Amino acid sequence: MTDRMPATPHLPDVPAHERLIVALDVASADQARALVEQLGDSVHFYKVGLELCMAGGYFELIDWLVARGKKVFADLKFFDVPETVRSAVRGLRGRGITFATVHGNQAIMEAAGAEKGEVRILAVTVLTSLDRGDLDDLGFECDVESLVLSRARRAMDAGCDGVIASGLEAPRLRAELGRRVLIVTPGIRPVENRPVDDQKRTVDVAQAFANGADYIVVGRPIRGAADPRAAAEAIQTTIRAVLGSR
């Protein structure tokens, strides 16, 4: 991204239909493939995380997605000694992966940033499943927004490309860091959050983009819908209305 880019949308070269990332948080690669086939051309970008990594066939699934023209977000939240993270990030290169996540201190983020190649590294700021009470339990004395901004600044200094952050903190990130930070926002809820949901800091689709997000990650509202494809198409319609029809 450069200073010549307009403020909104933040990635004008990215088609609107690629800004929705669907989380394949299912129990097996076969279930993931079935969901992708059900969604068809309504979704072009998928997040493949820890659950599928532990289920087996992780990279085979990624290869399958890439072969079908899908973009892939490898959400493994690397958090280990820097040399281990460096090697792990190196292992993602050359596979057609667009995004990968890292979650750690400055040295860990720097190791990921130094080895990223064509993969864009996103640093986790504060998980959207955490709220103020959770941060108190973890020993953080600052407020959520200040912690997110601090971690985002450090991530950019470390050579990361962007951050994973709630839509609630996106306006401050965009105001403070401008267009150089890529903001990917999970915790998207098209309807009112349910009490059994594990996400606490949520926004809806339109609010996420209005607040400055470049991409949104949606899982349960699509995966658990009576008609997942219709749910994805409804979200894509909202995205086009907010960002334009490209």
Q: Is 77 a catalytic residue?
A: yes
> Does residue 1 contact residue 29 with C-beta atoms inside 8 Å?
no
What's the pLDDT at 5? Answer: 32
> Does residue 112 contact residue 160 with C-beta atoms inside 8 Å?
yes
- Tell which residue, 51, 45, 107, 120, has the closest CA to residue 81: 107
What's the pLDDT at 67? Answer: 98
Q: Across the strands, what pairs with 100?
A: 74, 121
How many residues in the chain?
246
| Tokens (6 digits) for 81 | 């000694």
What's the pLDDT at 35? Answer: 98
CA 84 to CA 53: how far, in whole Å?
Answer: 17
**Helix spans in 139-180 (H):** 144-157, 170-177
- Tell which residue, 116, 104, 128, 107, has the closest CA to residue 183: 128
CA 112 to CA 92: how far, in whole Å?
Answer: 11
What's the pLDDT at 73? Answer: 98
Domains within the chain, CATH numbers bracketed: 16-243 (3.20.20.70)
The reported pTM is: 0.86
What's the pLDDT at 187? Answer: 82
**Annotated catalytic residue within 47, 77, 116, 200:** 77
CA 182 to CA 238: how far, in whole Å?
Answer: 21
What's the pLDDT at 168? Answer: 87
Q: Kindly list the averaged pLDDT for each block of 10 residues, start to end, along the chain of length 246.
A: 37 86 97 98 97 95 98 96 97 97 93 97 73 50 73 94 91 90 87 46 84 94 95 95 75
Amino acid identity for residue 166 in this structure: S
Q: Which residues contact 76 (CB under 8 A, 6 or more apart)?
A: 49, 50, 53, 88, 100, 101
Amino acid identity for residue 65 in this structure: L
Integer angstrom CA distances of residue 148 from 1, 43, 151, 157? 21, 29, 5, 14
The per-residue pLDDT for range 100-141, each reduced to its tens digit, is: 999 989 999 999 999 999 999 999 986 555 454 544 454 555
> Does residue 101 contact residue 78 with C-beta atoms inside 8 Å?
yes
| Tokens (6 digits) for 172 | 């401050």
